[in-house]
Amino acid sequence: MNAFFLGGIIQALLLALYFLFNKSNKNVVAQRWLGTLLLLIATTMALTYFLPNNYKQFSYLIRVWELLPFLFAPSIFLYIYALLYGQIHYSKKHLLLLIPFIIGFVILFPFFISSSTYKIQQYELSENTIPENFYLLFWLKSINGLVMILASFYTIIKYKKDVKLVFADNAVNKWAIYSLIAFSLLWIVGTGRILFDFSEMIAKMVSMLLIISIYVLTYFTLKQTQVFRETDLQVLEEIETKLNAKTEQSTLNNEEATLIYEKLSKAVLEEKLFLDKNLNLQKLTEICQCKSSTVSNVLNHHNNQNFYGFINEFRVNEVCKMLKNNENSHLTLDAIGELCGFKSKSTFYQSFKEVTGKTPMQYKKDILNL
């Protein structure tokens, strides 16, 4: 087990250095934050592995392993965010993520500045007794982890909504969800280990799970493609700014909204823009010469739709027309969906059910039974 643990430390460190310094242009920010997380994990594991036999020589490192995990949760949150949105526009509010770490440092500060003799004495006593402020630090880390996990789940929910504001395809980053679930399970096991006094074997199993997670994270991070480009994020920011402002909502009356909606519908239908699999909000607004925020405002506040639903309704109607045409009987449902502009099978089936109340297969059977 010790050899396995040591191997995990070395691998985590090597992967951390790779993600921190590689020159790949793919998901750069997510890779950097994953590298930061792996470096923190590798450092914490190294301290718990090497220090028990060398604590007298390196007394200044005693209890540092209790402080570093405060940075795990913020790193995970920023990794998930970057994996979804491609980049992070840092601001002062991100400094709030460091508050638990600062509190932990303040609690441990008297210990850190104490003499080496005192640190060694306390470390030796901790083999039989619980270290000072151990449970306070434990609960702070647990609460911090829980808050960051919930914030990450909220980010995923928001991401799903944002995708539908800008794109007509439901580009759900499933790995971000799986990754967060894995982190959540590790948090549950790590918290339960202290609360329910798990055995040493359980503690070692947690370490193994952590190492396995490193491999899985590495593999899937390298495979992820970035959904939002810089221009998409700018459009999204413009939409959110304007939709949150009461001025535009009040100045755009129902008559003006109806005219804009009719203009959009006419352009999409007559020019068959919906057949373009890569059609997004920015392309549509450029063709119709409207602001992205105005189009989104019309769809959301005046027609109870988002861009995703607006475009895919045209696609579903086109699918229905093709299914009613006997000349298309040789085509599969998936092929028809693709011809009508759907980029993914999941978006096709989900949108069709939302518009018609039936699955494509049920709809086709009903036509054949007429």
Lowest mean pLDDT segment, chosen from 74-78, 168-172, 296-300:
168-172
Q: Can you tell me the mean pLDDT for 149-158?
A: 93
Those residues with Cβ within 8 angstroms of residue 85's Cβ, 6 or more apart along the chain or in another chain: 159, 228, 233
Q: What local confidence, expressed as pLDDT, does residue 87 receive?
A: 85
Residue 249, pLDDT > 60, answer: no
- Determine the Cα–Cα distance for residues 69 and 66; give it in Å rounded to an integer: 6
Mean pLDDT lowest among 148-152, 190-194, 219-223, 312-316:
219-223
Task: Reduce the DSSP state of residue 363 to 3 states and report it.
Answer: helix
Average pLDDT over residues 200-226: 69
Q: Which two tokens stand for residue 200?
A: 């040493």
pLDDT surpassing 80 at residue 1: no
Mean pLDDT of 283-297: 84
More confident residue, 96 or 188: 96
State the average pLDDT over residues 224-240.
Answer: 78
Tens of pLDDT along 66-83?
999 999 999 999 999 998
* Cα 256 to Cα 333: distance, rounded to the nearest angstrom: 38
**For residue 275, what pLDDT band results from cuts at 50, 70 and 90?**
very high
Is residue 359's pLDDT more than 60?
A: yes
Residue 201 pLDDT class (50, 70, 90 cuts):
low
Q: What DSSP element (H or E) covers 346?
A: helix 345-356
Query: What is the average pLDDT value for the chain, to the nearest integer?
Result: 85
CB 160 within 8 A of CB 172: yes
pLDDT band for 23, please (50, 70, 90 cuts): confident
pLDDT score, position 250:
47
Is a pLDDT exceeding 60 seen at residue 65?
yes
Average pLDDT score over residue span 163-192: 81
Ramachandran region of residue 231, left (φ > 0), alpha (ψ -120 to 50) or beta? alpha
Say which residue, 17 or 189, is predicted with more confidence.
Answer: 17
pLDDT at 283 > cutoff 80: yes
- Which residue reads 């992070």 in tokens? 88
Query: Residue 247's pLDDT is what?
Result: 47
Give the DSSP letter of residue 114.
Answer: S
Q: Once rounded to an integer, what is the mean pLDDT over residues 29-49?
A: 91
- The amino acid occupying position 357 is G
- Asked if residues 69 and 100 have their Cβ atoms less than 8 Å apart, the reply is no
Higher pLDDT, 178 or 80: 80
Window from 154-158, 284-288, 299-303, 310-314 with minimum mean pLDDT: 299-303
> In a 10 Å sphere around its CB, with 0-12 CB exposed, 13-18 middle and 19+ buried, how is residue 328 labelled?
middle
Report the phi/psi class of residue 226: left, alpha or beta, with left for phi > 0 and alpha for psi in -120 to 50: beta
What pLDDT score does 207 carry?
Answer: 62
Q: Which of 21, 25, 37, 18 is nearest to 77 (CA)?
A: 37
More confidently predicted of 259 and 224: 259
